[in-house]
Amino acid sequence: MHNTLLTIITFIVVFGILVIVHEFGHFYFAKKSGILVREFSIGMGPKLIAFRKNHTSYTLRLLPVGGYVRMAGAQEDDGDALQAGVMVNIQLNENLVTRINASQKQTLFQGVPFQIVNFDLTDGLWLEGYENGDESALKRLNVDHDATIIEHDGTEVQIAPRDVQFQSAKLWQRALVNFAGPMNNFILAIVVFAIIGLMQTGGIPSNSTKIGTVMENSVAQKAGLQKGDEITKINGKVVKDWSALSTTLQSDPGKQVTLTYKHGTTTNTIKVTPKVITTQGQKVGQIGITAAVDKSIGGRLMYGLTGTWTMVTNIWHALANLFTGGFNLNKLGGPVAIFANTEQAAKMGLASTLFFMAFLSVNLGIVNLLPIPALDGGKLLLNVLEAIRRKPLPESAENAVQIAGFLFLILLMIAVTFNDVYRYFIK
């Protein structure tokens, strides 16, 4: 029971931090670009807590499985809660509508009943209808540019005039807003890896190709490699860092490779065959060496960059293998897999949990940059097409692309989730 509770708390905290950091990137640059952020939500589903500040509603929702930044006019903005024929309550200030209540969950102090006949909250900023049930006099009321509307679930957001909508921002600003979420995930990973580096008083793995330890009875020891040797080439190709070294060796399990290395002032060449081991269902090569350790403060801080870069290259190779090595759902993981791995990280302590957070953050950043519609990368691709065409895609075409991408992601997530449940709890 204690371990389950710890896992749940760790999962919520880690996932919450990732979502907040990602969405804050979109939020910050949208604000700087003059785009109205109508809502910043942590979590999904029914609203638990809400407050408004500086034209934005901040909400905490029941399900801790994501979040969103709702920008005026963007695809995430599901529009206003008004339609012809509905009865709302309005607040007036000198004959100017300042608040519109379309919810049954709230009442407006001194609110005036108003039946909507027609409205324009985008360009003209007006409401047309019958006040106090008097259908003998059709009234048109002007709406304040910064008026708010209380939606059906009780969330109060600002209306979305065209000048503060997403599409009204310049192209480079919209592209920056789309890129900012993944960018923040990479920044978070750098910070977390730097913290991990400082926590490791015994030092952190150097990203050089110098050997720190050689395991007993390993392929490397039998080939004559020693601590302090520096591997410079694999099969004649120069390797500049440990990430490239380990990736190359892991990709050739059971296949003989030629290593060129420096031992003191001499350069030697040997042939080794990486041992085949299976990790997380994948066969990789291993010769039994670890990187040299850097104990300096500067080196441990630099682990923020080197650790992130290593993680980026590893995840990128894993993504490439997803397609070149044959598609397999076991190579993917959804919320169930994340929860299962959170349990292992939480048991192993703070450093492991931080490492897992950094891994997820890099993962989230890379996956969101894939050119798949409905992801940030898909939106950036549309920005590139707009720059080439010098005009945006027709709204109908853009919506169709986004819907297709969204449906693809939903179907993929369902398949991955069922597969994860089978892997971790049934198999």
Residues annotated as catalytic are 23
Task: Report how far residue 309's alpha carbon sits from residue 224's, in angstroms, rounded to the nearest whole number.
Answer: 30
CB 185 within 8 A of CB 376: no
Widest CA span in the chain: 100
Match 């709702």 to its residue by tokens. Answer: 70
Amino acid at 407: L
Nearest to 14 by CA among 196, 180, 195, 189: 189
138 CB-near residues (< 8 Å, 6+ apart) = 117, 128, 129, 130
